[in-house]
Amino acid sequence: MTTYDYTSDQWPPRRLDAPDEFFVMWRRGKSDDFLSSFFPSMVHMSLCGAGPPDVLHVRIRERVETDPESPYWGWLKTGEDRWSMIQPSLLALSVCFLYGIEAAEKRGHGRHGNLVAEILYDPITDK
């Protein structure tokens, strides 16, 4: 895992290289706070209208049985090690597949998974 100096002028880097790390936008101040727009690149984040301090640094991993419920779902393409199309609900992920997730999985394109997001750095709280 790469260690970052969040106080440096170099933060945030343009791209996160670790396959389990993403930049995300935290939709704050609403009754349904959630993370959205999971990308490894600040260029992609800026296309979503996000930039510091709205952008958090998170680590994503697949949820295990002992974890609390998680609303986040993503797609792991066959042969890749970075989750993609991470959404705040299974329904939101499902609409990304014209013939459904199950059809894509049966064809061997990849698999979906329930994900846990661990916040590594939040510029608002500086933690």
Range of the domain at 37: 21-121
Query: Quick check: is 2 in a domain?
Result: no
Please tell me the pTM assigned to this model: 0.82
Residue 75, beta-bridge partner list: 84, 112
- Span of 5-14, 17-26, 93-102, 110-119 with lowest mean pLDDT: 5-14
Residue 26 has pLDDT above 90, yes or no: no
- Percent of the chain's residues with pLDDT above 70: 87
Secondary structure of residue 25 in the 3-state scheme = strand
Q: According to the model, what pLDDT value does residue 30 have?
A: 57
Query: Quick check: is 113 in a domain?
Result: yes
Query: Quick check: is 64 in a domain?
Result: yes
Residue 2 has pLDDT above 70, yes or no: no
Query: Quick check: is 10 in a domain?
Result: no
Secondary element (H or E) of residue 115? strand 110-121
Query: Quick check: is 12 in a domain?
Result: no
Centre a 10 Å sphere on the Cβ of residue 73 and count the other Cβ atoms it contains. 22
Please give the mean pLDDT across all residues of the chain.
85
Provide the domain count of the chain: 1
Secondary structure of residue 54 in the 3-state scheme = coil
Token look-up 């301090």 returns 53
pLDDT in tens, 28-79: 655 556 788 888 888 888 887 777 777 888 999 999 999 999 999 999 999 9
